[in-house]
């Protein structure tokens, strides 16, 4: 099973969020998004559908529109891709902890994704300003 380092995750996530719209075509990039969406879920907890929807809305509010994902579509992807398991009755959901499609550095869980994007935007703006300054000379 493939493994994502914090550096790989950070680079891909910021590129995806700051890049073009729509769900990425490359499997790795889709999995980076899915992993980013599950980071705030508690591993040992059983979630009702409403509780899970609330948690997923926390991700879709800042990032979902960019990728055409609402909380319901995201939940379906996470179940289909085996990041979240649903009980047979479809009443409770839990984070998959043993057989993830991609493993990742646990340090990723501590990342503030919104801060990460703010810093990446700031860095891009600085590079743009420097480029404009250099072009005028």
Distance CA 61, CA 37 (A): 11
b/e per residue 103-122 (b: at least 16 CB within 10 A): ebeeebeeeebeebbeebee
Q: pTM (2 decimals)? A: 0.90
Cβ-contact 106, 97 below 8 angstroms: no
Which of 61, 12, 68 has its CA nearest to residue 35? 12
Predicted pLDDT of residue 106:
93
pLDDT at position 49 is 95
Report how far residue 26's alpha carbon sits from residue 67's, in angstroms, rounded to the nearest whole number: 13
Crossing angle, helix 49-59 and helix 27-38, to 10 degrees? Answer: 110
**pLDDT by position in tens, the chain (length 137):** 789 999 999 999 999 999 989 999 999 999 999 999 999 999 989 999 999 999 999 999 999 999 999 999 999 999 999 999 999 998 999 999 888 899 999 999 999 999 999 999 999 899 888 888 888 87
- 86-98 pLDDT, tens digit per residue, is 999 989 999 998 8
């Amino acid at each position: 099973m493939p493994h994502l380092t914090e550096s790989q995750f950070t680079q891909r996530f910021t590129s995806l969020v700051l890049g073009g719209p729509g769900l990425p075509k490359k499997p790795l990039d889709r999995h980076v998004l899915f992993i980013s969406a599950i980071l705030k879920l508690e591993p040992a907890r059983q979630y009702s559908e409403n509780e899970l929807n609330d948690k997923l809305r926390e991700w879709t509010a800042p990032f979902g529109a960019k990728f055409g994902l609402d909380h319901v579509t995201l939940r379906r992807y996470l179940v289909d891709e085996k990041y979240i398991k649903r009980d047979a009755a479809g009443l409770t959901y839990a984070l998959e902890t043993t057989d993830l499609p991609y493993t990742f550095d646990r340090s990723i869980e501590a990342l503030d994704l919104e801060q990460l994007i703010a810093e990446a935007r700031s860095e891009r703006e600085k590079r743009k300003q420097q480029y404009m300054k250099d072009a005028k000379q």
